[in-house]
Amino acid sequence: MTIRRRLWHVLERALTRPLLIGLCMACAAGLHASESPPTLRIETGAHVAPIRALGGDGGGSYLVTASEDKSARVWDAVGGGQLTVFRPPSAPGNDGKLYAVAMTPDGAVFATAGWTVSNDLYLVRRSDGQIVHRITGLPDVVTHLSFSPDGRQLAVGLWGRNGVRLYQGSDGWSKAQALEGDTDYEQEVHATAWSADGKVLAVSSADGLIRTYEPTAKGLKLLRRGLPTGTGVPFGLAFAPDGQTIAAGASDQGSVTLFDTKTLKARKTLSPARGSHVADLAGRAKYKVV
């Protein structure tokens, strides 16, 4: 071995050995603190698994997506570029997959959740992807999230028969207070939606019901619940700008039904044109209208 190569070998060992020791110590410290080993991931710049939810700010500047690839990504809604990546704590298997996301109207914070050991819900700063608060111990997987128009309350839909919960945020969502929700559900929540004035929260569920609530300082006050017949199982929800009508897409057919907000009676059903190939509005199997 030449003198130059020997010197390079000694220098390489001198530089890398302390680095490796430091990394091992850091990993050991992190393992002790979190009780789970660190996971290395390749940053692809895009999702590599199905996107399960999308949200945005009130001004149309930002979009946020949640995916089964165990990441939430913030995008420039105008230019289209990726701005921030958030990766929740995760483990092999389903742990860490994200199924729900929503952004505050001012775009400062987004909430995301999905499948975790403690069914955690993360409040994340949009600008840098840092967690500002974590809500833990929810009874099951979070299926849907939505912020009130003023950004002060967060509706949380849950899997199973756990219904919907409501949280009140403060100090930029670095704090969150649990308010009264509703657990009188037979199956999982599909979607939640707020009227533009924030006075009504609508919830759709796999039990076939649409429910409307009045959000109060104490929590959710049930206004009405309806079981629409012949219009499919309600899935996605949206309010008309005046708040008088709720549009509900069906999870078992390709129709959209317009409901009166106060009575939950169907006003009109919008069906796909005959002969067209459509999917149900939960994104499942395609069929042909004849």
pLDDT digits (tens, 9 = 90+) for 275-288: 555 555 564 433 33
Q: How far apart are CA 270 and CA 289, in angstroms?
A: 13
- Beta bridge partners, 66, equal 53, 72
Strand 277-279 to 109-114 pairing? unpaired
Answer for the pair 166, 156: CB distance below 8 angstroms, yes or no. Answer: yes
What is the structure's pLDDT at 15? 35
Hey, what are 105's tokens?
Answer: 């109207």
- Backbone dihedral angles phi then psi of residue 164, each to the nearest 5 degrees: -125, 145
Sheet holding 98-103, edge to edge: 98-103, 109-114, 121-125, 131-135
Stretches where the chain sits below pLDDT 70 are: 1-44, 229-230, 272-290
- Please return the burial class of 13, using the count of CB atoms within 10 Å of its CB with bins 0-12, 13-18 and 19+: exposed
User: Could you state, in order of their start, the residue ranges of all structural domains in the chain?
Assistant: 1-38
What is the structure's pLDDT at 275? 52
Hey, what are 153's tokens?
Answer: 């309350």
What is the structure's pLDDT at 165? 98
Q: How far apart are CA 40 and CA 153, in angstroms?
A: 35
Q: How far apart are CA 92 and CA 177, in angstroms?
A: 31
What is the structure's pLDDT at 18? 37
DSSP sequence for 140-167: S-EEEEEE-TTSSEEEEEESTT--EEEE
Answer for the pair 129, 122: CB distance below 8 angstroms, yes or no. Answer: no
What is the structure's pLDDT at 228? 76
